[in-house]
Amino acid sequence: MRALLCCLFLLLFCGSTSVFAEDNASWTTPIAPFQIADNLYYVGSEDLASYLVVTPQGDILINANLASSPPQIRASVEKLGFRWSDIKVLLNSQAHYDHVGGAAEVVRETHARNMVMDGDASVMETGARTDFLAPSPNIAAYAPVHVDRVLHDGDTVSLGDVTLTAHKTAGHTRGCTTWTMRAHLPGEPAGTMRDIVIVGGVGFWGEYHFVATPGHPVSYPGIVQDFEHTFSELLALHCDVFLGAHGGYFDMLTKLKRYPQAGARVFIDPAGYKEFVADAQKTFRKALSKQEAAAAR
């Protein structure tokens, strides 16, 4: 069942028509915020994931989501008892509008420092105009937002007693970012630390060109190598707690059904993580082979 769900989710991002629409109910339906680790909370919607990392020196928000999302995210942050104004750093998973459309509003309201992976920085500062697929109906524009710090593969972001590591897992966007951190989960023995992985994105759709054909160059030079590096990087990471930019990546809603009894341990899923990455790699290589065969005709 897990493999089927992963494949179905990935296939949504490989079709010829856009699935990026703000009327996607799971993207805009609020969900009660919940704790994942001692200092990590989920504050997103049913499917668009947003995470709050709490530290003694202020908080970090990962993903501002849609332009309409900041009020929902803020309500979740405040429901947990934290202050919106305490957000000092804004991070993201990828520079598509469903993950950074609300970034300008979050920065305006909180004055957080906006930190973005190289490859996505110019996209955010131009409101998606420099996205490699633009102009495209699948790449919706959003309010441009200044980037305070350009990140590079392996850079760390530290605040208070928390350090997150940025892994450049490009392909879906040129600066798609997977975040990792170590944290203690509520209810586990003191001193037990878990490796948390927040996958940035692994999908693509029909507009992505991996092989040049007449009238259709590759989407950007090196896109195939980027995707292959992404899968190698993800498979090399040690993952205890599997999270992602979409709740659908890690079967969040199903796991939440067990949350009242099992708590945050429901997100400990190293096998599910490996299966998700392997399925994504298989889907990519199948699409690449299909494009290579078509180009050879």
Residue 8 is predicted with a pLDDT of: 39
Q: Which residues of 138-152 are buried (b: 16+ CB within 10 A; e: fewer)?
A: bbbebbebebeeebe
Question: pLDDT under 70 in the chain at which residues?
Answer: 1-23
225-242: pLDDT as tens digits: 999 999 999 999 999 999
Q: Which two tokens stand for residue 171?
A: 């392909």
pLDDT at 215: 87
Could you tell me the end-to-end alpha-carbon distance of the chain, in angstroms, rounded to an integer? 37
Q: Which CATH class is domain 2-296?
A: alpha beta
| Alpha-carbon gap, residue 87 to 112, rounded angstroms | 6
What pLDDT score does 14 carry?
35
Mean pLDDT of the chain: 93
